[in-house]
Amino acid sequence: MQFQRTNIPDVVIIEPKVYGDSRGYFVETFRADKLEEFLGYKIDFCQDNESKSSKGVLRGLHYQVPPFAQTKLVRVIQGRVLDVAVDIRKKSPTFGQYVAVELSSENKRQLLVPRGFAHGFVVLEDNTVFAYKVDNYYSPECDRGIAFDDDSLNIDWILNKEELNLSLKDTKQPKLNETKDLFEFGVNYYV
């Protein structure tokens, strides 16, 4: 299992080792000890989630505020997505910047999206199955979002806007500069 920091060092790409032969393949998708050794702190995942979507579905940008802030470890079981993590930690040197990584059933990559980041993805193939671990339970009261098409973020979602399929909730999210519930850079949200 290889870990690679991105241009926003707290967001990490994980590339598991795939063992394949004529029968198929085997892959370890999660090792708490290896992740903890790389990060220098422990994450206790408590819930797994899965969604299936058609091409063009865009989910995000979502996050939860304390006390239910979440770290996500995301991957694709079938199909392909462009996965995006946006730094929403006020006073962070990378505030408002994002990481975009293609995750697919072919490349087996995963993305660790820590607390203090908004997360979203756009589906690039029909019948895509997306799975993720979280380290805190879903809380409707703490659920927040940011507009996927906020010009200040300038995210390239690869697909044209006309090809996108969003929930009503995701079409009504505020822009980053209109968002009051942000995180503070330097605060340890894992305590």
**Can you read off the two tokens belonging to residue 46?**
């408590």
* Amino acid 191: pLDDT: 72
CB atoms within 10 A of CB 83: 25
Contact criterion met (CB below 8 Å) for 32 and 89: no
Say which DSSP state 55 is in.
Answer: T
* Amino acid 19: pLDDT: 94
Instruction: Map out the domains of the chain with their CATH numbers.
Output: 2-184 (2.60.120.10)
Measured between alpha carbons, how far is 16 from 64 in angstroms, rounded to an integer? 27
Q: What is the pLDDT of residues 3-14, one digit of tens each?
A: 999 999 999 999
Measured between alpha carbons, how far is 160 from 121 in angstroms, rounded to an integer? 14
Q: Which positions are catalytic? A: 62, 132
Q: Which of 190, 39, 173 is nearest to 118 (CA)?
A: 173
Q: What are the respective helix, strand and coil percentages of the chain, to the nearest 5? A: 10, 40, 50
* Amino acid 62: pLDDT: 98
* Amino acid 147: pLDDT: 98
The percent of residues above 70 in pLDDT, for the chain, comes to 100
Measured between alpha carbons, how far is 176 from 180 in angstroms, rounded to an integer? 9
Q: What is the pLDDT of residues 23-51, one digit of tens each?
A: 999 999 999 999 999 999 999 999 999 99
Helix (H) or strand (E) holding 153: none
What are the pLDDT tens digits along the chain (191 aa)? 999 999 999 999 999 999 999 999 999 999 999 999 999 999 999 999 999 999 999 999 999 999 999 999 999 999 999 999 999 999 999 999 999 999 999 999 999 999 999 999 999 999 999 999 999 999 999 999 999 999 999 999 999 999 999 999 999 999 999 998 999 999 988 87
* Amino acid 82: pLDDT: 98
pTM tops 0.85, yes or no: yes
- Which residues does 43 contact at the CB level (< 8 Å), separation at least 6? 32, 35, 36, 71, 73, 135, 190
* Amino acid 190: pLDDT: 84
